[in-house]
Amino acid sequence: MTDQAPVAYTGPSRVLSGVQPSGALHLGNYLGALVKFTRLQHEIDTFIFVADLHAITVWQDPAALAQQTREIAAAYIASGLDPDKATIFPQSAVREHADLAWIFQCVARLGWLDRMTQFKEKSGKHKERSSVGLYTYPVLQAADILVYKATHVPVGEDQKQHLELTRDIAGKFNHDFNAPGYFPLPEPLIQGPGARVMSLRDGSAKMSKSDPSDYSRINLTDDADAIAAKIKKARTDPEPLPETIEELAARAEADNLVGIFAALAGKTKAEVLAEYAGKGFGTFKPALAELAVEKLSPVGEKMRGLLGDPAVLDAILAKGAEKAREAAAPTLAEVKKLVGFWGA
């Protein structure tokens, strides 16, 4: 007797992703995620949520969380997401996420979660003090994806392991409940250029909203003067820009700034070097600052306008939540029936 390949999912293609409302979005989020979401909405059925359930795995100020949710929604729209094309919604407004997560917690195995490296990194030496949610949130992430039967998920390096867990949960559910091909095994969408933007103060560290130095990042709400000042103060080295990608790779800060220029300009790093090789940062930084201001200032301006009218944002989020529930509810109803719950 030989093992047979699992039955493939045959439903429609759909992409899903989300960002936590746990701090101001920055250039790394913009290049690594938001511009990709904007492109995807024209290619595939797109669901983009504000991950407020994930955010509370660590303490969030209740007085600020709703406004932080609006800020993420404003960033989505200011970056080019169209609420009439993409479904934009708060995760907590669609109860099916949490309901399916509990069922998946009974499908996932403890050993699978024990292997999740991100929990070890986030909890450090004091994992006993971390919330249970921080430990189990990859299961909720699987529910986020599979409640919409999403077939594709944009991922960075730090989330690839979680997507593998989602595939494991989907496969085990399909097997355990005799539902071959019911859930898809989602495929990663590699984010491409601009997917990993590093700190402006340390080229070896990823740009982060939790960095205590505001000069380590360009926030999407920064105005033109702030953007230019942060580029001007970005850490570099004394050498002119090299001619080859290989030489550039050995210089973390220079590599980061060239990568930012390339992503903003829609070019490759090699094309940027072809123009600026042999030139110092006294020439390159002003050009980068001008480009960053050109690309990012309109985003910040639109964000500030949207945040000035929260009723508009709330209406967009409410409409998106209704649409998301319409997509998620049939999946949860079918899952309850497959599991054998009374009344399903």
The catalytic residue positions are 122, 206, 209
Closest residue by Cα to residue 316 from 3, 64, 90? 90
Buried b (16+ CB within 10 A) or exposed e, 218-255: bbbbbebebbbebbeebbbeeebbbeeeeebeebbbbb
- Calculate Rg over the CA atoms of the chain: 22
Neighbours of 19 (CB within 10 A): 20
Closest residue by Cα to residue 317 from 77, 36, 35, 23? 77
What's the order of all strands across the beta sheet hosting 14-19? Answer: 87-90, 45-50, 14-19, 152-155, 187-190
Q: Using an 8 Å Cβ cutoff, are 38 and 46 in contact?
A: no
d(CA 225, CA 281): 19
